[in-house]
Amino acid sequence: MEILVLLKQTFDTEAKVTVKDGRVVDDDVTLVINPYDEYAVEEALKIREAAGGTVTVVSVGTDRVDEALRRALAMGADEAVAIEPPADADEYAVASLLAAWAKGRSFDLILAGNVSVDTGAGQTALRVAEILELPHVAAAVKVEIAGGKATVHRDAEGDTEVVEVSLPTLITAQQGLNEPRYPSVPGIMKAKRKQIARVAPADLGVDLTPRTAVTSVYQATQNRRNRMISGTAEEQARELVQLLRSEAKVV
């Protein structure tokens, strides 16, 4: 089983987001594997442990992405590939790069996160499936591989759909799929010795013209009433209901 994991490095979800000079400042921010992609890495490792094969992780990112790839290697991935990001890359450009790299490498299974916690667009993996003409199943909470097929339980707005698909396919990970392992000490040592392959966008020969442009970035300021309601539980409940009706007008 040859498995590819599409991985993005993102801010730690506990990190504060600061906008300065029209961009999000990332200088002092802890970067991690996008949590949904970490589920994808874990699932890839579990499938490899059961079925054999290799797990390759690929990411489009600057030098800092090595840290995330190294962690995936330490978790147990076999190979890691970093593709240099072109300027102003959007989902179209990133997906084009990932798909161009994956093309012809005949993976049985491509796993990725359902969405990244930074842009939250959730486009890239599905675009990769489209370029590679693979079927996809998104938002998986359970994956079973047997007999050249995947049976996937997916989150469909709270309902669970059980979907069957033949390999090769692309599956995206939803929260609840698994509990990602922590890298072991031997895993970390082994990962340190591994090479991360670097690929330049020009080597992949695809159109990288972004289709979208960000015209401004800003931080929301919320004006909240911050009104505290006192009294007994019953009095508090009564006053709150009155305020929600007469002042906030939401019920």
Partner 1 sequence: MARNILVVAEVRNGALRPVSFECIAAGRTIAEGGSVTAVLLGQADVDGSELIARGADRVLVAKGDYLKEYTPDGWLGALQQVYLAEKPDVVLMGHTGIGRDLLPRFAMRNAAGMISDAIAVKVEGDQVVFTRPIYAGKAYVTQVITGGLIVATIRPNNVAALEADAGRSGDVVQSEAAPVDLRTVVKEVVRQAATGVDLTAAKIVVAGGRGVKSAEGFRPLYELAEVLGAAVGASRAAADAGFCDYALQIGQTGKTVTPDLYIACGISGAIQHLAGMSASKVIVAINKDPEAPIFKVADYGIVGDLFEVVPHLTREFKALLG
DSSP state of 148: T
Site for partner 1, residues 183 to 222, rule: CB under 8 A: 207, 210-220, 222
**CB 22: neighbour CB atoms within 10 A?**
10
Task: Provide, rounded to whole angstroms, the least separation between the CB of residue 147 and partner 1.
Answer: 14
Options 90, 94, 110, 208; binder of partner 1; rule CB under 8 A: 90
Cα separations (Å) of 174 from 9, 117, 156? Answer: 17, 12, 10
Cα separations (Å) of 80 from 38, 192, 201? Answer: 14, 12, 16
Whether the ω angle into residue 168 lies within 30 degrees of 0, i.e. cis, is yes
Task: Provide, rounded to whole angstroms, the least separation between the CB of residue 203 and partner 1.
Answer: 21
Site for partner 1, residues 157 to 176, rule: CB under 8 A: 157-166, 169, 174-176
Task: Provide, rounded to whole angstroms, the least separation between the CB of residue 18 and partner 1.
Answer: 8
Interface with partner 1 includes 106 (CB under 8 A)?
no
From 59-67, 72-80, 124-132, 193-201, give the range in contact with partner 1 by CB under 8 A.
Answer: 124-132
CA–CA separation, 42 and 46 (whole Å): 6
* Ordered alpha helix ranges (H), 76-170: 91-102, 124-131
Interface with partner 1 includes 144 (CB under 8 A)?
no
In terms of CB distance, is 7 or 129 closer to partner 1? 129
Options 49, 63, 130, 144; binder of partner 1; rule CB under 8 A: 130
CA–CA separation, 79 and 182 (whole Å): 18
Options 32, 44, 47, 141; binder of partner 1; rule CB under 8 A: 141
Count Cβ neighbours within 10 Å for each residue of 233-250 and write b for 16 or more, e otherwise. Answer: eeeeeeeeeeeeeeeeee
From 64-72, 75-83, 186-194, 243-251, give the range in contact with partner 1 by CB under 8 A.
Answer: 243-251
Interface with partner 1 includes 30 (CB under 8 A)?
no
